[in-house]
C-alpha cells in the first residue's frame, strides 16, 4: 500500500485538535478513539496518576496540562457565580458529539470520490489500487447468480403464459437455466469444501460468467420479438379483432409484454453488483440498441397494429423506446451508486487495515518502552488496569529481597570534560557500554529472577525476588538459591568489567555491596514514573557498597549466614562503621567454592548431594557438565540442580552447622566445579576436563592443590565480546606509541602482561583506538592466565590492606555516584 494513498484519502479529513488546539490534525478512527479515551480520562480521573496518560501523544500532554491549569484557575474564580450547567460547551459528551459530527462531515463522499476515482469510469486513479479492488473476492457473486436464476424463471413463466411458446424459447431457457445452475453448484461445492477451485476468485472469470449469463437471460427475454407473428396492416382495425380460436401461439396481441420482458432482462444486469459500471453500461446499451432496432425496423407493424386497434394517441413504439431508455438510465445510475459504495467500502477497509497495523505497531512500541521502563509484572499491572483502577499508588511489600549495589569506583578518574572527548560524551559512551553490558547479562536465563532497579551515576542497582511468582520464600533453600543468583550476577559483573578493562586498557574497579531483607517496591511520579524499592534493606545494601573496597563484594552478616551454606567462600572483614547503623560485622564474598574443597557435611546437603550424584552418573566422556542454565555447571546449578526452581517444593536444608565432623563411610563421586579463578590455556582446560571423576572417601580432606579450569564456556565467550577502547588517547598518547611506555594505565595488569608491550602491537592498538566501538570487532585471544593472576594478586593486596584502611561510611559517597568528578574510592 503506498504512502500517497493515505495522504490522498485523508487530506480532506482535517479537523481541529481534540483539546482545543488550533493546530489541524488528520481525523481518523485512531484520532477519534484517542479523543474519546482522553475525554473518558478527563471525566474519570481528577488527579494525575502514573500511566494515566499513556495513550496521549507528547504534544497533547503539554497542551492538555496547560489547558487543565487554565481551566482550573478560571474555575476557581468563576465558581461562585456560575450555575451548574454553565460549562456546557466543555462537557465531554458535547465535545464527542462535535467531533463525531465533524468526522461524518469530513468523510464527504463527493470529496473522496473526486480524489480517488475517475468520475466517468469509477476506476481508481491508482492502478495498483484498482487491481487490488478487482482481485478482491466478490462475496455476493453467488447471491447475484441465484437472483438472476430467479429472474430467468420469472421470465420463462411470463413467456410461457403470455407470449409465443416456441421451441427456441424452450431451448434458450433450458440453456440459461442449466448454465446458471451449474455455476451456482460449483460455487456451492467450494463453500462445502468439496472442490477447491473457486471461479469467483478470478476477476476475469467472474466477468465472463456474468456477461454470458446476462446475454442468455436477455436472449430468453427477446426471443419473442423474433418469433412474434406480424399481422398485415389491414387486419389491424378494431372491428376485425381476431376470434380467440384464430389466435395462434405465435401471435403477440399485447406488445407491452415484449417491453416488460426487456426490462426484466435489464434487471438481470443490476443484480450483479460488482460488475464494473463500464461493462454494465456497455451491455445495457447494446441490449437497448438491439431492442430499439427490432421495434423500429423488424416489428414495427406489431406496434402499429396495436395502436390502430386501441386508437392510442401516442404511438406505442415511441412510448416503449422512452420507457426502455428511462429504465436504462435508472439502471446505470443505480449501478454507479452501487459501485461507488463498494469502492468506498474498499477504501475504508484498506484505511482501517492500515490504521490497525499502525496502531498495533504503536502499541507494540509503547509496550516495549513500558517493559523497558518497569519490571514485567509491574508493566503488566499498569497495562491491565490502566482504565480500571489506576487511581491507586502501585506498591508491593516484600518480606525478603536480595539487593545489590555495584559501583565502578574509579570512573570519576576516567571521566573528564575535554575537547578531545567531546566534553565528556565519549566517557559517557563508555559508561553506557559498561552498563549496557551489565544489562545484557540480565537477559541471560540464569539471571531472569533479577530485576534491574536503576543506575545512579556509575552505580548499578539490582534486586532479586521481586517477581511475584519468584519471591524468596521463608525456607533457607529458597534464600540460598536466590541469593546465589545475585552472587553469580556479582561475579558476572566482575568478569564483564574485567573483559572491558582488557579491551579498553582501563582499570575500572567494581565494588559491590549486597544485603537481604524486607523492602517496599512501588512506582512513583505522574511524569516519567519510576519503579524503585525502599527500606532499611536498601539503605544497608547501599552502605555495603559505599563502605566496601574496590574489586570486593561486601555482604552483611545476615546474607553471609545464608550464602555461606551455598557454594561460596567468604572472608570476614570485621567491624565496619556504617552511618546510621553503628558498627556492623561484614564479610567479603571472595570466590566460588569448589566441590573438591567442600566439606563432607556441605556435600551431604540435599542440593549438593543431588549435584554430586548427577555428576557421578554422567556417563559420557568427562568434560564440563552442562547445567540447567545451558552452560557449564556453576555453583548455581549446584544450589538447585536439575529443575527450574519452584521454591515452595525445595527440600529443607539442615540447620546451619559449620562443624566438620560427620564421618559417615559414604563415598561421593566428585567433579571439580569451575571456580572464579581462571586458566586461559585451552590445552590445560582440556586436560583438566578430561580428568575422570575421583572418588573421595567421606571425611577425607580433598587435595587443595588442584585448580580446575574456569568455565570453559565463559572463557570462549569472552574473546567474542566487543572491544572497548576510548576513541581518544586519554593519557599520554605520545607515550603510548613508544616502545617501553606502551602501557595500559593500570599497574598490576601491565606488570603481569609484558607481552602486550611490543612496539608493533602498541602501534596497531593506538590506531584501532581511534576506530573501535562496541560490537565492531571481536577479541580473538582468550584472556591470559597472567592477567587473572595479576587481578587476583591485586585483590589479595587490597584485602591485605583492608586492616589499614579506615572503613567509615560517608554520605558523600552517594553523591559521588552521579558526580564523576568526585573521588569515592
Among positive and negative, which fits the CA dihedral 164, 165, 167, 173? positive
Q: What is the DSSP string of 69-98?
A: HHHHHHHHHHGGG--TTTTGGG-HHHHHHH
Phi, psi for residue 657 in degrees, rounded to 5: -125, 130
Q: Name the residue nearer to ligand ATP (CB basis): 23 or 811.
A: 811
Q: Name the residue nearer to ligand ATP (CB basis): 2 or 812.
A: 812
Q: Name the residue nearer to ligand ATP (CB basis): 542 or 685.
A: 542
Phi, psi for residue 770 in degrees, rounded to 5: -80, -15
Tell the smallest beta-carbon distance from residue 463 to ligand ATP (Å). 10
Tell the smallest beta-carbon distance from residue 522 to ligand ATP (Å). 10
Residues 502, 494: Cα–Cα separation, whole Å: 12
In terms of DSSP bridges, do strands 530-534 and 459-464 run parallel, antiparallel, or are they unpaired?
A: unpaired
The residue annotated as part of the active site, out of 95, 452, 511, 543, is 543
Q: How many Cβ atoms sit within 10 Å of the Cβ of residue 526?
A: 13
Contacts 24+ apart (CB under 8 A), 63-70: 63/17, 63/19, 63/20, 63/21, 64/19, 64/38, 67/19, 67/20
Residues 71, 12: Cα–Cα separation, whole Å: 31
Tell the smallest beta-carbon distance from residue 403 to ligand ATP (Å). 9
In terms of DSSP bridges, do strands 510-524 and 530-534 run parallel, antiparallel, or are they unpaired?
A: antiparallel
Phi, psi for residue 383 in degrees, rounded to 5: -70, -40
Q: Name the residue nearer to ligand ATP (CB basis): 538 or 633.
A: 538
Q: Name the residue nearer to ligand ATP (CB basis): 14 or 810.
A: 810
Tell the smallest beta-carbon distance from residue 812 to ligand ATP (Å). 8
Q: Name the residue nearer to ligand ATP (CB basis): 532 or 558.
A: 532
Q: How many Cβ atoms sit within 10 Å of the Cβ of residue 700?
A: 10
Contacts 24+ apart (CB under 8 A), 788-793: 788/677, 788/678, 788/679, 788/680, 789/752, 790/748, 790/749, 790/751, 790/752, 790/753, 791/498, 791/551, 791/748, 791/749, 792/677, 793/748, 793/752
Tell the smallest beta-carbon distance from residue 460 to ligand ATP (Å). 11
Q: Are 822 and 461 in contact (CB under 8 A)?
A: no
Q: Are 667 and 690 in contact (CB under 8 A)?
A: no
In terms of DSSP bridges, do strands 14-16 and 24-26 run parallel, antiparallel, or are they unpaired?
A: antiparallel
Tell the smallest beta-carbon distance from residue 411 to ligand ATP (Å). 17
Report in angstroms the alpha-carbon separations of 702 from 595, 669, 671: 9, 12, 12
Task: List contacts with ligand ATP (CB under 6 A).
Answer: 456, 461, 532-534, 538-539, 542-543, 579-580, 811, 814
Tell the smallest beta-carbon distance from residue 515 to ligand ATP (Å). 10
The residue annotated as part of the active site, out of 6, 250, 579, 765, is 579
Using Cβ positions, the residue closest to ligand ATP within the complex turns out to be 811
Asked if 579 is an active-site residue, the reply is: yes
Q: Name the residue nearer to ligand ATP (CB basis): 398 or 505.
A: 398
Asked if 113 is an active-site residue, the reply is: no
Q: Are 590 and 563 in contact (CB under 8 A)?
A: no
Q: What is the DSSP string of 396-435?
A: EEEEEEEEEEEEETTHHHH----TTTTTTHHHHHHHHHHH
Residues 448, 351: Cα–Cα separation, whole Å: 41
Q: Name the residue nearer to ligand ATP (CB basis): 304 or 461.
A: 461
Phi, psi for residue 53 in degrees, rounded to 5: -115, 25
Tell the smallest beta-carbon distance from residue 824 to ligand ATP (Å). 11
Q: Name the residue nearer to ligand ATP (CB basis): 461 or 736.
A: 461
Tell the smallest beta-carbon distance from residue 497 to ligand ATP (Å). 20
Q: Are 457 and 816 in contact (CB under 8 A)?
A: yes
Query: What amino acid positions are annotated as catalytic residues?
Result: 543, 579
Amino acid at each position: 500500500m503506498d504512502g500517497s494513498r493515505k495522504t490522498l484519502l485523508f487530506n480532506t479529513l482535517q479537523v481541529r485538535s481534540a483539546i482545543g488546539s488550533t493546530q489541524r490534525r488528520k481525523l481518523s478512527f485512531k484520532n477519534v478513539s484517542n479523543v474519546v479515551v482522553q475525554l473518558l480520562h478527563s471525566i474519570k480521573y481528577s488527579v494525575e496518576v502514573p500511566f494515566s496518560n499513556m495513550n496521549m501523544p507528547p504534544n497533547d500532554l503539554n497542551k492538555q496540562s496547560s489547558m487543565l491549569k487554565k481551566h482550573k484557575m478560571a474555575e476557581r474564580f468563576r465558581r461562585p457565580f456560575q450555575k451548574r450547567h454553565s460549562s456546557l460547551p466543555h462537557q465531554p459528551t458535547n465535545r464527542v458529539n462535535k467531533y463525531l459530527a465533524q468526522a461524518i462531515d469530513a468523510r464527504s463522499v463527493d470529496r473522496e470520490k473526486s480524489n480517488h476515482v475517475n468520475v466517468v469510469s469509477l476506476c481508481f486513479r491508482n492502478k495498483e489500487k484498482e487491481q487490488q479492488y478487482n482481485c478482491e473476492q466478490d462475496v455476493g457473486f453467488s447471491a447475484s447468480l441465484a437472483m438472476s436464476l430467479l429472474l430467468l424463471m420469472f421470465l420463462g413463466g411470463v413467456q410461457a403464459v403470455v407470449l409465443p411458446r416456441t421451441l427456441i424459447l424452450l431451448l434458450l431457457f433450458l440453456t440459461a437455466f442449466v448454465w446458471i445452475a451449474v455455476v451456482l453448484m460449483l460455487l456451492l461445492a467450494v463453500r462445502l469444501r468439496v472442490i477447491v477451485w473457486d471461479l469467483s476468485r478470478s476477476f476475469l472469470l467472474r466477468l465472463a460468467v456474468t456477461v454470458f449469463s446476462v446475454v442468455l437471460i436477455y436472449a430468453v427475454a427477446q426471443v419473442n420479438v423474433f418469433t412474434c407473428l406480424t399481422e398485415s396492416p389491414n387486419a389491424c382495425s378494431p372491428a376485425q379483432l381476431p376470434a380467440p380460436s384464430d389466435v395462434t401461439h405465435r401471435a403477440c396481441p399485447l406488445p407491452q409484454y415484449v417491453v416488460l420482458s426487456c426490462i426484466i432482462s435489464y434487471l438481470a444486469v443490476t443484480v450483479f453488483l460488482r460488475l464494473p459500471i463500464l461493462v454494465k453500461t456497455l451491455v445495457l446499451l447494446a441490449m437497448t440498441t438491439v431492442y430499439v432496432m427490432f421495434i423500429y425496423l423488424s416489428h414495427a407493424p406489431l406496434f402499429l397494429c396495436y395502436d390502430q386497434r386501441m386508437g392510442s394517441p401516442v404511438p406505442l413504439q415511441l412510448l416503449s423506446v422512452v420507457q426502455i431508455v428511462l429504465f436504462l438510465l435508472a439502471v446505470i445510475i443505480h449501478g454507479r451508486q452501487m459501485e461507488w459504495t463498494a469502492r468506498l467500502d474498499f477504501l475504508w477497509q484498506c484505511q482501517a487495515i492500515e490504521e490497525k497495523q499502525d496502531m498495533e505497531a504503536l502499541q507494540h512500541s509503547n509496550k516495549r518502552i513500558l517493559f523497558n521502563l518497569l519490571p514485567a509484572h509491574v508493566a503488566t499491572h499498569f497495562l491491565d488496569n490502566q482504565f480500571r483502577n489506576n487511581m491507586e499508588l502501585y506498591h508491593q511489600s516484600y518480606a525478603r529481597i536480595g539487593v545489590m549495589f555495584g559501583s565502578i569506583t574509579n570512573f570519576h578518574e576516567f571521566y573528564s570534560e575535554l575537547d578531545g572527548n567531546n566534553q565528556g560524551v565519549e566517557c559517557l559512551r563508555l559508561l553506557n557500554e559498561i552498563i549496557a553490558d551489565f544489562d545484557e547479562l540480565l537477559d541471560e536465563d540464569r539471571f531472569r529472577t533479577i530485576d534491574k532497579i536503576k543506575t545512579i551515576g556509575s552505580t548499578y542497582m539490582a534486586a532479586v525476588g521481586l517477581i511475584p511468582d519468584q519471591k524468596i520464600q521463608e525456607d533457607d533453600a529458597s534464600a540460598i538459591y536466590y541469593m546465589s543468583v545475585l552472587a553469580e550476577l556479582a561475579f558476572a559483573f566482575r568478569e564483564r568489567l574485567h573483559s572491558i578493562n582488557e579491551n579498553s586498557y582501563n582499570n575500572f574497579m567494581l565494588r559491590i555491596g549486597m544485603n537481604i531483607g524486607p523492602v517496599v517496591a512501588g512506582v512513583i511520579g505522574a511524569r516519567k514514573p519510576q519503579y524503585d524499592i525502599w527500606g532499611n534493606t536498601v539503605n544497608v545494601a547501599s552502605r555495603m557498597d559505599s563502605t566496601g573496597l574496590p574489586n570486593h563484594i561486601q555482604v552483611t552478616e545476615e546474607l553471609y549466614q545464608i550464602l555461606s551454606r551455598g557454594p561460596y567462600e567468604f572472608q570476614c572483614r570485621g567491624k565496619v562503621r556504617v552511618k546510621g547503623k553503628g558498627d556492623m560485622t561484614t564479610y567479603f564474598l571472595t570466590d566460588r567454592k569448589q566441590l573438591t574443597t567442600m566439606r563432607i557435611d556441605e556435600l551431604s546437603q540435599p542440593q549438593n548431594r543431588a549435584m554430586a550424584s548427577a555428576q557421578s552418573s554422567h556417563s559420557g566422556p568427562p568434560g564440563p557438565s552442562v547445567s540447567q542454565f545451558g552452560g557449564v555447571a556453576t555453583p548455581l546449578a549446584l544450589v538447585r540442580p536439575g529443575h527450574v526452581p519452584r521454591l515452595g517444593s525445595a527440600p529443607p536444608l539442615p540447620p546451619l552447622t559449620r562443624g566438620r565432623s560427620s564421618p559417615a563411610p559414604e563415598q561421593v563421586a566428585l567433579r571439580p566445579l569451575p571456580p572464579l579463578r581462571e586458566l586461559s590455556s585451552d590445552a590445560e582446560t582440556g586436560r583438566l576436563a578430561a580428568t575422570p571423576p575421583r572418588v573421595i572417601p567421606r571425611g577425607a580432606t580433598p587435595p587443595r592443590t588442584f585448580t580446575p579450569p574456569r568455565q570453559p564456556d565463559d572463557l570462549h565467550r569472552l574473546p567474542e565480546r566487543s572491544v572497548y577502547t576510548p576513541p581518544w588517547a586519554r593519557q599520554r598518547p605520545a607515550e603510548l606509541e613508544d616502545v617501553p611506555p606502551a602501557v595500559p594505565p593500570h599497574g598490576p595488569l601491565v606488570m603481569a602482561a609484558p607481552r602486550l608491550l611490543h612496539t608493533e602491537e602498541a602501534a596497531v592498538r593506538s590506531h584501532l583506538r581511534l576506530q573501535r566501538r562496541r560490537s565492531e570487532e571481536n577479541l580473538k585471544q582468550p584472556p591470559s592466565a597472567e592477567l587473572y593472576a595479576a587481578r587476583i594478586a591485586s585483590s589479595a593486596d587490597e584485602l591485605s590492606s583492608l586492616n589499614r584502611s579506615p572503613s567509615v561510611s560517608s554520605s558523600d559517597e552517594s553523591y559521588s555516584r552521579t558526580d564523576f568528578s568526585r573521588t569515592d574510592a
